[in-house]
Structure 1
Amino acid sequence: MRGCRLMIPFAVLLFLPLFLSDSALAQRSVGSQQKWQQAVSGAEKEGRVVVFGPPGDIVRTAITQGFRKAFPKVTIEYTGGRGGELATRLKAEMDAGLHNVDVFLTGTSTAVVYLPKQALGLIPPALILPEVADPKHWRDNRLLYSDSTTPDNLIFVNHLSPLIVYNLDQVKPGDVDGLHSLLEPKWKGKIVLNDPLPSGAAHFHFRWIWELLGPDKAKDYYRKLREQAGAVDRDQRRQIEWVAQGKYAVLVAPSGGVLAQLLQRGLKVGVLGEFKDVGGWSTASFGSLVLLNRAPRPNAAAVFTNWLLAKEGQTAWSQALYHMSRRVDVPTDHLPPYVIPQTGGGYWSKDPKRGDKYWLSDLAENPNRTPEEEGILKQLFGR
Structure 2
Amino acid sequence: MKWTRLSMVLIAGIAGALLLVACGADPTPTPTPPPPPTATPTPVPVAQPTEAPAPDPTATPTPDAMAMFEAEKADLLAAAQEEGELQAFFCCALGDGTADHIRGFEDKYRIKVVFSGGSSREQAPKVIAEREAGQYTLDVWSGGLNPAIPTLIPGGVIQPLKPLLFFPEVLDESGWYDNRLHWFDQPDNEYVIGWNGSGTTAGIAYNTDLVDPNEIQSFWDLLDPKWKGKIIIRDPREVGSSGTTAFYYMNEQLGEEWLTRMMTEMDLTLTSNARQAAEQLALGKFHLCMWACGREVQRLEREGQPVDDVFPHILAEGASISPGGGAFYVLDRPPNPNAQKFFANWFLSREGQIFAQKASESQSLRTDIPTDGVNPASIRNPDVDYFILGSQTDYQEQLESALTVVRDALASVGK
The interval holding the TM-score normalised by the smaller chain is: 0.7 to 0.9
Q: Deviations for 1:322-368, whole angstroms, at most 9, x for unmatched residues?
A: 32212122113654454344445445xxxxxxxxxx35334452145
Distance 1:238 1:108 in 2: 24
Q: Any conservation in 1 of the 2:101–2:358 contact (CA below 8 Å)?
A: no
Code of the aligned partner of 2:262: Y
Question: What are the residue-to-residue correspondences of 1:265-280 with 2, within 5 Å?
Answer: 269-272=307-310, 275-280=314-319
SS of structure 2 residue aligned to 1:160: coil
Q: Does 1:283 align with 2:315?
A: no
SS of structure 2 residue aligned to 1:331: coil
Q: Does 1:222 align with 2:301?
A: no
Provide TM-score, normalisation by structure 1: 0.82
Distance 1:317 1:280 in 2: 23
1:352 match: none
Distance 1:18 1:333 in 2: 46
SS of structure 1 residue aligned to 2:208: coil
Q: Any conservation in 1 of the 2:358–2:372 contact (CA below 8 Å)?
A: no
Distance 1:369 1:133 in 2: 29
Q: Any conservation in 1 of the 2:275–2:296 contact (CA below 8 Å)?
A: yes
Question: What are the residue-to-residue correspondences of 1:244-323 with 2, within 5 Å?
Answer: 244-259=282-297, 269-272=307-310, 275-323=314-362
Question: What are the residue-to-residue correspondences of 1:1-383 with 2, within 5 Å?
Answer: 6=6, 8=8, 13=45, 25-55=62-92, 58-72=96-110, 74-117=111-154, 118-146=156-184, 147-161=186-200, 163-200=203-240, 202-212=241-251, 213-225=254-266, 227=267, 229=268, 231-259=269-297, 269-272=307-310, 275-332=314-371, 334-336=373-375, 338-347=377-386, 358=387, 360-363=389-392, 365-368=394-397, 373-379=402-408, 380=410
SS of structure 2 residue aligned to 1:144: coil
Distance 2:304 2:247 in 1: 30
**Gaps (5+ residues) in structure 1?**
348-357
Q: Any conservation in 2 of the 1:257–1:285 contact (CA below 8 Å)?
A: no
Deviates more, 1:77-86 or 1:262-271: 262-271
Tell me how far 1:261 sits from its aligned partner: 5.5
Code of the aligned partner of 1:84: R
Q: 1:6 to 1:135 in 2, by over 3 A?
A: same
SS of structure 2 residue aligned to 1:277: coil
Provide TM-score, normalisation by structure 2: 0.76
Code of the aligned partner of 2:167: L
Q: Report the RMSD for the aligned CA atoms in angstroms.
A: 3.4
Distance 1:115 1:364 in 2: 19
**Gaps (5+ residues) in structure 2?**
11-42, 56-60
Deviates more, 1:94-103 or 1:57-66: 57-66
Q: 1:144 to 1:361 in 2, by over 3 A?
A: closer
SS of structure 2 residue aligned to 1:296: coil
Distance 2:50 2:323 in 1: 39
Percent identity between matched residues is 25
Higher helix share: 1
Query: How many corresponding residue pairs?
Result: 365
**Rg: which structure is higher?**
2
Q: Any conservation in 2 of the 1:260–1:322 contact (CA below 8 Å)?
A: no
Distance 1:261 1:15 in 2: 67
Distance 2:80 2:400 in 1: 45
Code of the aligned partner of 2:113: I
Q: 1:339 to 1:299 in 2, by over 3 A?
A: same
Q: Any conservation in 2 of the 1:52–1:78 contact (CA below 8 Å)?
A: yes
Tell me how far 1:101 sits from its aligned partner: 0.8
Tell me how far 1:259 sits from its aligned partner: 4.9
Distance 1:266 1:33 in 2: 49
Q: Any conservation in 1 of the 2:199–2:319 contact (CA below 8 Å)?
A: yes
Tell me how far 1:18 sits from its aligned partner: 12
Tell me how far 1:283 sits from its aligned partner: 0.5
Q: Any conservation in 1 of the 2:139–2:334 contact (CA below 8 Å)?
A: yes
Q: 1:87 to 1:264 in 2, by over 3 A?
A: farther
Tell me how far 1:52 sits from its aligned partner: 1.0
Q: Any conservation in 1 of the 2:300–2:307 contact (CA below 8 Å)?
A: no
Distance 1:217 1:35 in 2: 53
